[in-house]
Amino acid sequence: MPELPEVETIRHALLKGNLIGQVILQVEIKNKKLVKEISSENFTTSLIGQTFHNLERKGKQLIFLLDKWALLSHLRMTGKYFFDEVPVNLLAEKRSIGLIIYLSSGKKLIYCDARCFGAFYLQPRDAFRVSVPYKNLGPDALQEEISVDYLKNCFQTLKIPIKVALLEQKIISGIGNIYASEILFMAKINPLKPTNKLSREEIEKVLYHTKVILQKALELGGTSVVDFISPFGKGSYQQELKVYMRENKPCYQCQTTIIMERINNRSSFFCPHCQKLEL
């Protein structure tokens, strides 16, 4: 579930926890499925003795920069980070600890993942940007400039529903199911509208509302509608949601009933009046 605002909130929390400058003393892997493209033994031995120098993010990926390695972390659906201990009220998380990194400060960096869909990639620091998964990510929805011409070219080639296109991380990285529904509502575009049918003005609206919504969600610590929680606690952007998880409730703008439709096996929420399908 964590999308760009949630992952960026986690990044801020880890930096505030004085992660930078800490040396890795020990690595305890509780779930080997989380470690990709390298054996758990090599993963552990490569990390021990390394120092955290920076923590970056692109899209939904966290990137821990060490002495000679880049540790990429994708939280997928239910990944979470905690310092030292998992809060006592989160017993389910205590049962789903996947990785523990012991730091020179005496602290522990704990990664929990109830559904075990998360992924860790350990790659040479000087090569990770030209390696998968990083090289397959499109421009970051908040940190990088995205032009109307770039999106128009992508959309003309794809010819798929705009809702599906917004979730395609090779085009724009960072948008997930929650914010895609919210962006399209604010842009007054039906989620089923084919990308090659979008006007230049509609693409401009998509870009504008992408930046505005993601920035506002970041300011509010992300959206906690299911189980997202950062080391800071829960976010509050769920109070700002206009259509997501509001099926059968009245639209805030026209009072028409919000509907939910499965598009490419993902739930999409929209107002059939405000977001008419015009081809």
Q: Give the span between the Cα atoms of 264 and 279, in whole angstroms.
A: 20
Task: State yes or no: pLDDT of 83 exceeds 70.
Answer: yes
- Catalytic residue positions? 2-3, 60, 266
What pLDDT score was predicted for residue 254?
Answer: 98
All structural domains of the chain: 4-136 (3.20.190.10), 148-270 (1.10.8.50)
Average pLDDT (71-97) is 84
- Taking the alpha carbons of 233, 239, 242, 244 in that order, is the dihedral positive or negative? positive
User: Where does the pLDDT of residue 233 fall: very low under 50, low under 70, confident under 90, or very high at 90 and above?
Assistant: low
pTM for the full predicted model = 0.93
Please give the structure tokens belonging to residue 126. Answer: 């000087």
Angstrom distances, CA of residue 89 to CA of 31, 92, 114, 154, 232: 22, 9, 15, 45, 15
Task: State yes or no: pLDDT of 63 exceeds 90.
Answer: yes
Place of tokens 């993963």: 43
Average pLDDT (252-272) is 97
What pLDDT digit, counting tens, does each position of 16-60 carry?
Answer: 999 999 999 999 999 999 999 999 999 999 999 999 999 999 999
What pLDDT digit, counting tens, does each position of 190-201 carry?
Answer: 999 999 999 999
What's the mean pLDDT when you consider all of the chain? 94
Average pLDDT (228-234) is 64
Average pLDDT (94-109) is 93
Task: State yes or no: pLDDT of 236 exceeds 90.
Answer: no
Average pLDDT (205-221) is 96
User: Where does the pLDDT of residue 91 fall: very low under 50, low under 70, confident under 90, or very high at 90 and above?
Assistant: low
Please give the structure tokens belonging to residue 140. Answer: 């970051």
What pLDDT digit, counting tens, does each position of 139-185 carry?
Answer: 999 999 999 999 999 999 998 999 999 999 999 999 999 999 999 99
